[in-house]
């Protein structure tokens, strides 16, 4: 029977390693070496008398005991952090670190953050952009937002919060010169797409029954944000997520010539890190409120943009 608690640093090392499923990324988060994390986890395993990780070539996987220990200890560490914030956070703003893809940051999150700050002035949001999946994140975060259920670490429960659809959009001036009244009219335009969403046009064409044009012009960009900027500048047609179109449709910078022909996209999910503090819960509550209020409004706006 143990007469002393387990070493807290070892528990923190274990939780970080379990969240990332990587000793290296856990070390980056805690500011120590890969070897230090490995030694601390081994020290904890010796204390508990069980293996917490199955160590494979260039990979670690939680054992059943490790998963149970994570479920029990991660909330306890969060409670310790919350208790400390009562004292050290009185004069300093509390921080919530939000990991999102660049396009989502620029076109959805950042324009709406003033509302969150107005509701919770005591919380400072820090936006970290990354194209990596949450399970491969190089920096620590409190909340991550991504499309779909793939790429989430086992320690984080991904929860859906916003549906989305792809919509054909273009600059109004381009559509005045070369109108698009039916899918076949796309043959006379340049189709814009991003490296990460290169299959969207093909999926949309198959869905609406549009045969692929032999001489169809296309233009690829690294990120969706660049695709949408190219559409604003009149370079061609973009098949863009409705969730990222709100401001441009509302202000008439983009128009939707085929509003009823939409491509169903993976919904957005958010996940909260096991050791995230109370500011993360305030943020996700706000996130859900905004998403619920905007989903129906954006879809109606997309229809109105065609007229």
What confidence tens digit (pLDDT) does each residue in 106-138 have?
A: 889 998 999 999 988 889 999 999 989 999 988
- Residue-wise pLDDT for 180-237, tens only, equals 999 999 998 999 999 888 889 999 999 888 776 678 899 999 888 899 999 999 999 9
pLDDT tens digits along 132-158: 999 998 888 999 999 999 999 988 989
Q: What are phi and psi of 264, to 5 degrees?
A: -70, 125
**pLDDT tens for each residue of 9-63:** 899 999 989 888 889 888 887 888 889 999 999 999 999 999 999 998 888 999 9
Instruction: Report DSSP state, residue 275.
Output: T
250: how many CB neighbours lie within 10 A of its CB?
Answer: 14
pLDDT given at position 26: 86
Identify the pLDDT of residue 288.
85
Q: What is the pLDDT of residues 237-254, one digit of tens each?
A: 999 998 888 778 888 999
Six token digits for residue 288: 């859900």
Q: Read off the DSSP letter of residue 32.
A: S
Question: Could you tell me the pTM of the whole model?
Answer: 0.65
Contact 71, 19 (CB under 8 A): no
Question: What tokens were used for 26?
Answer: 């856990």
Tokens coding 286? 């706000």
From residue 143, give the alpha-carbon distance in Å to each of 101, 116, 119, 176, 279.
12, 14, 18, 43, 10
> Residues 277-295: what's their mean pLDDT?
85
3-class secondary structure, 279: helix
- Do 151 and 135 meet the contact criterion of CB atoms below 8 Å apart? yes
- For residue 302, is pLDDT > 80? no
Residue 29 confidence (pLDDT): 79
pLDDT of residue 174 exceeding 70, the answer is yes
């Amino acid at each position: 029977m143990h007469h002393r608690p387990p070493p807290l640093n070892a528990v923190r090392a274990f939780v970080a390693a379990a969240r990332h499923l990587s000793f290296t990324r856990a070390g980056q988060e805690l500011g120590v070496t890969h070897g230090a994390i490995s030694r601390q986890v081994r020290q904890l395993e010796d204390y508990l008398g069980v293996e917490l990780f199955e160590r494979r070539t260039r990979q670690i996987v939680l054992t059943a005991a490790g998963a149970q220990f994570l479920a029990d200890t991660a909330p306890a560490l969060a409670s310790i952090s919350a208790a400390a914030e009562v004292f050290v956070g009185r004069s300093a703003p509390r921080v919530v670190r939000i990991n999102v893809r660049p396009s989502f940051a620029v076109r959805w999150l950042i324009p709406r953050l003033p509302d969150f700050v107005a509701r919770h002035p005591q919380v400072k949001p820090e936006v970290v952009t990354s194209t990596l999946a949450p399970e491969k994140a190089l920096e620590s975060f409190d909340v991550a937002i991504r499309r779909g259920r793939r790429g989430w670490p086992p320690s984080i429960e991904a929860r859906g919060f916003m549906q989305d659809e792809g919509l054909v959009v273009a600059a109004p001036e381009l559509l005045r010169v070369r109108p698009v009244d039916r899918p076949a009219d796309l043959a006379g335009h340049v189709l814009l797409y991003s490296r990460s969403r290169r299959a969207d046009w093909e999926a949309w064409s198959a869905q609406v029954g549009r045969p692929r044009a032999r001489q169809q012009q296309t233009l690829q960009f690294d990120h969706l944000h660049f695709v949408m900027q190219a559409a604003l500048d009149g370079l061609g047609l973009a098949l863009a997520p409705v969730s990222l179109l709100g401001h441009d449709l509302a202000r008439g910078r983009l128009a939707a010539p085929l509003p009823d022909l939409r491509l169903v996209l993976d919904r957005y999910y958010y996940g909260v890190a096991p050791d995230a503090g109370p500011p993360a819960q305030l943020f996700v509550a706000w996130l859900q409120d905004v998403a619920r209020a905007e989903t129906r409004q954006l879809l109606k706006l997309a229809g109105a943009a065609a007229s």
